[in-house]
Amino acid sequence: MKKVTSSNGHFAQIATLTPGCVFGLEEMMQRTELQLTLISNGAECIFISKKMFLKRATPRSLRMIGALVGRYPTEAYIREQLRELNQWKSFKKDVVKHVLEKKDKTSSSVVM
């Protein structure tokens, strides 16, 4: 999971789609309550009307789609992971700062 900041707020990258992946059917299949956004770096995407899809889908095709649709984590899980990531980054920053300060003190005492 990666935290991304934009001018409009904060986002969490929770998945990376690969060729053949399906996106946008999670809500229809009642697999998530999250508001998901697809951000593409130039990939080709095929958009199908949800209304048309549901009108033409057979029970078999719905089962097949159910197997393809990703299962995304809950909002609570995402928030916890981001909290832990922020704690880790803060801890890492403090450790690096401490080590560098200790190294500077050691270097300056050897020079004298």
* Long-range Cβ contacts of 42-47 (<8 Å, 24+ apart): 43/17
> Does one domain contain both 51 and 96?
no
The total number of structural domains in the chain stands at 2
**Do the Cβ atoms of 73 and 14 come closer than 8 Å?**
yes
Q: Which domain holds residue 61?
A: 1-72
Q: How many CB atoms lie within 10 A of CB 72?
A: 16
Q: Where are the beta strands (DSSP E) in the chain?
A: 2-6, 9-13
Mean pLDDT by 10 residues, the chain (112 residues): 57 80 71 73 81 88 78 83 93 96 78 52
> Does one domain contain both 43 and 80?
no
- In this prediction, residue 16 carries a pLDDT of 83
> Does one domain contain both 67 and 18?
yes
> Does one domain contain both 21 and 44?
yes
**Do the Cβ atoms of 70 and 21 come closer than 8 Å?**
yes
